[in-house]
Structure formats: structure tokens, C-alpha cells
A and B are shown apart, each in its own frame.
Chain A
């Protein structure tokens, strides 16, 4: 019973996904009389979105419940270890993932019918992919790590290609798929090598084997460990879309339906960071590998600086707001990587990254949601020009957009401010002054393109005769925006509670 309770967040979302699939397949299509359809899910995006959102909220609530009960007081959970490690770190991330998934589901409930993408399989796919993401954050074994990664990714590939007959969607999905499976194969090679070198597939066993290198009687080859570390890092850097493994990101986000892009930006990235932290700290936590002179911290520091700088410079030159948000998500991966580098010295950095990703999840989901709200059928808001004058035509949408952009830019009193503050503070506490300063400089550069959106929202008028986006009305999108706004303000004005929870997550990550 305790085992079931401990696994309940995963079970709720997984079983919910299967139930939703059945509900989709056996329901009656909701189409106008006289219209023939073979798709049982036709016209039912609304109800399925509601179902998906409710299931994911239940998943989030159960994550909190298991947290409160304390996973360490449930000894039965060791039965599923090391395949699934249910600790506070996992639960914090599964909460973040469920919140991100629920927001994406609500956005899809408004977006799909509005833009004529009558494909209700979006929601079961979204839930199954979220299960994969949650399992990824819990993976303490190479086998579960790979299975979870593929479960998450296969769902996302399909979500991007959902808009049938659109060359752009097909191109985006295929590009992401080919690069994604290429990166997954590289990572799999690394995982196989890691198993070969150590004889273990559980991260704790690998960590112990890595520590034994150099001691008398150890047969573990340091060369193989280093090669596998590089290969695994490449695979995960691709998933978090760190420069130079980011080329797919803007294309995939632009071609994908916006709610699918939202899901990729928030859930895929958070889950990849969770597994990155666990692999590096548990599997490669040996002091010789996790030090500034050698091992992964300098490599990740280079990735962090490249991601922040390149993404911020390129984002400012984009004409499409969706592409700008894609580059912004790359830049945020860079800020979070600063925290991952700091994690080599201070365990607090793990909680800083966890808090950062929660703040990033609600802000990014909100920004994409506001972008959805600014467009309507046949006139999707894409470019800056489309947003001109929305502040007058639809003050509520513009206000919400501004709030989320403030948070992404890291201005108080929003969640993004405390996320950045916490990450950079742990970087300074660990003596990584250069990284922290580069991060701060980049946040200032980043504010440019976020503020540019606000300039268009409030200070520009649409050019006469230009096609202008008409804002849409949708209870789903509005609900998602209100929920995200509450999170952003709550985390921004009273971050103490969540910070305490996040620092609880840090202690059990190792």
C-alpha cells in the first residue's frame, strides 16, 4: 500500500493517460449533423483537455502529498530502487513537470479547436510523454534512464507533427526527430560503454566504481569513463538545447503547434536537467571528475556561457516572437547550467536549479499562452508586428504577456527574479565569480528583446492595411494564464515556502 502511495504521482498520470485514450477512442465525435468523420475524437479537444489537465493536477497534488508524508518514511520504495528513485528531488521535479504539462494541456484546449487542428490524440500523447519525463527525473539506473528518455521524446515528436498537411510542421518534426534520435544513439553508446567499464547499470554502483579508479585492485578504465561521460553529456546537452547542440530548437518550436512548443520548452527541458543533475552528481560525483581542473564542470561552464551569449545575441535579431521565445529558452538553459556547474561544490545549487526550473516553467508557459491568446484562426500572432497595438485592443492579454516577460527577464517581483538570484548566489558562494558575472550581464542583454515585445504591445500601432492578429477568446487559455500568473506572483512575492521545499530537494539528490 505504501509502495502504491509512493508511486501514486506516476501511476495517476500513467493510468490517466490510458483512460483518456479509451475515452477518446470510444466517445462520440462532436461534429455538426451531417458531417461524416472516422475520428472518434473529432471536435472534443475541449473535454479531453479538461480531462488531461485534471489528471496532471492530480499528479501534482499527489507529488505534494508524497512529499509531505516523506519518501524516506516509506521503506517499501526501496523495492523499485534503483530503477525509480523516489526522493524529494524526484517529487519536486514531478510537481514541476505536472504543472508544466497541465498548463500545456489547457493551452491546447483553446489552441487546437481555434486553429482547426482537430486532433484529440494530442492529450493522451501529452500525458504519456509526461510520464516519461517524470520517470526520467526519477531514473537511478541507465536502463530506466533510456526508456524514460525515449518515452518522453517519442510523444513529443508526434506532438510536433500533429498539424497534418503542413510542410512546416512536417519539417519541424522530422528535423527534431532525426537530430533527437541521433543524439539518443550517441548517448546510448555512452551508456553502454559506462556499463562495460563498470559492470553496473545503477548510477550509485557506477559512482562507487568511478571512485575506485586508481585504488589497488580496481579494473575500471578511466579512459572509458571519460569517453562515456562526454557521450552522455552530448546527449543530454541536446535535450536541454544548450549551444552548440541547439540548432533544432528554433525550427522545432516555430513549426510545432504552440502548445506542443510550450510543452517542449518547459517539461522536456526540466526533465533533462533533472536527469543531468542526477547522472553528474551520483554517477560522476567523484571529486576528481567533479572539480574545476578536470571532468565535467569546465565543459558545462563552456556550454553555459555559449548558451547564454549566443542565444541572447541571436534572439534580439528575430522577427518571429515564437523564435525569440525559442532562443530565450536556450538562454535560460544557459542560466540553469550555471547552477549545475555550481552543484559540484555546493549541494544548495541543486535546489537553486530546481527552483529556477519551476519559475522558468510557469513563466514560459505563460508567455507562450499569452502569445496564443493574441492570435486567432487564420491570423496567428507570430511576428512582433502582429502584436502591435494589442495593449489597446486586448489589455488583459497584453498585461499577462508583460507579467510573464518580466519574469523571464528576471525583474522583481516575479518568480524569474528569485530564480536567477538564487542560481547566481549559489554560483558566487561556490567561488564561480566569472560565471555569475557573465550570467548577470547576459540577463541585462536578454531584457532587451523581452522589453521589445512590450514596446510593440503598448507603444506601436499596426501599420494601416497590414493584416493584424485578432485576439481569441478561450476559457482554457485564460485559466492557464491566470494559474501561471498566480504561480509567477506567488513565487516572486513569497518565495520562502517554495525555496524551503527546494532546499529539501537538495539534500536527497545525492
Chain B
């Protein structure tokens, strides 16, 4: 499989992630969809790294994985905060703030 194959797979995963963010009503579902997007990017980075025959893309992917983990930690803490305050994690229930 050449570079194009990997790019198409990554683009498909990324689009699935975007679709999930737009349609999911559960905060954890949205969070998981964002992670899918981030992992699609990691796939891209590693494929490009092989294409350019250098370590840069792999290093970038490692950093991106670490940052994604940190993001999940903060995200789950915030979901927990919402659950404690509301007893539910559906985002359409979080609608106190509006114009």
C-alpha cells in the first residue's frame, strides 16, 4: 500500500471523527470522536514520516499522542464535573448559558 492508501484511510477516519462530533449527544461520545480525529492525524504523520524517510513525523506523532492523553485527562475531569453538577452527561441538557 502506497502513501495514498494511508492518506485515504486517515482521511476516512478523520471524517468519521468529525461526523461523530457533530452527531453525538453524549459528552463522552464527542470526546471519543475527537480522539478518533487525533489518531487519524497520527496515522498521517507516520505515513508522511516514511514517505520523507526521516524521523520527524514519528517524533511529531509521539508528541501528539502524549498531548492527546493529557487532553483526555482534562476532558474526562470536566465530564465528571458536569455529571456531578447535573447527574447526566448529555450535552443538550447543558443549556443554561445562552443569549
Chain A residues with a Cβ under 8 A of chain B: 142-143, 146-147, 150, 154, 157-158, 161, 164-175, 177-178, 181-182, 184-186, 188-189, 192-193, 195-196, 199, 201, 250-251, 254-255, 314, 317-318, 323
Contact = CB atoms under 8 A, between A and B. Distances in A.
Interface in B13-71: 14, 17, 21, 27, 30-31, 34, 37-38, 40-41, 44-45, 47-48, 51-52, 54, 56-57, 59-60, 63-64, 67, 70-71
A147 B78 contact: no
Contacts of A171: 82, 85, 94-97
A415 to B, nearest CB: 29
Nearest to A320: B99
B37 A189 contact: yes
A170 B85 contact: yes
A178 B84 contact: no
Given A165-B85, A167-B85, A172-B97, 11 more contacts: A143-B59, A143-B60, A147-B67, A154-B70, A157-B78, A168-B97, A173-B78, A178-B31, A178-B34, A178-B91, A250-B99
Contacts of B98: 251
Given A178-B31, A192-B44, A255-B97, A170 B60 contact: no
Contacts of B51: 196
Given A189-B14, A193-B44, A195-B48, A170 B86 contact: yes
Contacts of A150: 67, 70-71
Q: What 5 A-B pairs come out closest when comparing CB atoms?
A: A196-B48, A185-B37, A171-B94, A167-B85, A251-B97
Contacts of A323: 99
B63 A174 contact: no
Given A174-B79, A188-B38, A142 B60 contact: yes
Contacts of A178: 21, 27, 30-31, 34, 75, 91
B82 to A, nearest CB: 4
9 contacts: A142-B60, A146-B67, A158-B74, A165-B84, A168-B97, A171-B85, A178-B91, A196-B48, A201-B56
Measured as residues with beta carbon below 8 angstroms from the partner, the interface class of chain B is: 35 or more
Nearest to B84: A165
Contact of B94 (A158, A174, A188, A195): A174
A143 B65 CA distance: 12
B81 interface: yes
Nearest to B81: A170
Contacts of B70: 150, 154
Nearest to A188: B41
A241 to B, nearest CB: 15
A173 B56 CA distance: 34
A317 B60 CA distance: 45
Interface of B: 7, 14, 17, 21, 27, 30-31, 34, 37-38, 40-41, 44-45, 47-48, 51-52, 54, 56-57, 59-60, 63-64, 67, 70-71, 74-75, 77-79, 81-82, 84-86, 91, 94-99
Nearest to A184: B71
A205 to B, nearest CB: 11
A150 B84 CA distance: 26
Contact of B45 (A164, A170, A192): A192
Given A195-B48, A250-B99, A161 B34 contact: no
Contact of B99 (A175, A184, A195, A318): A318
B34 A182 contact: yes
Which among B7, B45, B95 has the highest number of chain A CB atoms within 10 Å? B45
Given A143-B63, A168-B96, A201-B60, A185 B78 contact: no
Contacts of B71: 150, 154, 181, 184
Given A146-B63, A170-B85, A181 B57 contact: no
B67 A174 contact: no
Contact of B41 (A165, A166, A181, A192): A192
A399 B75 CA distance: 41
Given A174-B78, A199-B52, A250-B99, A189 B67 contact: no
B45 A177 contact: no
B9 to A, nearest CB: 14
A157 B96 contact: no
B88 to A, nearest CB: 10
Nearest to B97: A251
Contacts of B7: 196
A189 B63 contact: no
A251 B37 CA distance: 25
Contact of B75 (A147, A167, A177, A192): A177
Nearest to A166: B85
Contacts of A167: 82, 85-86, 94, 96
B44 A185 contact: no
Contacts of B96: 167-168, 171
B48 A192 contact: yes
Contacts of B47: 196
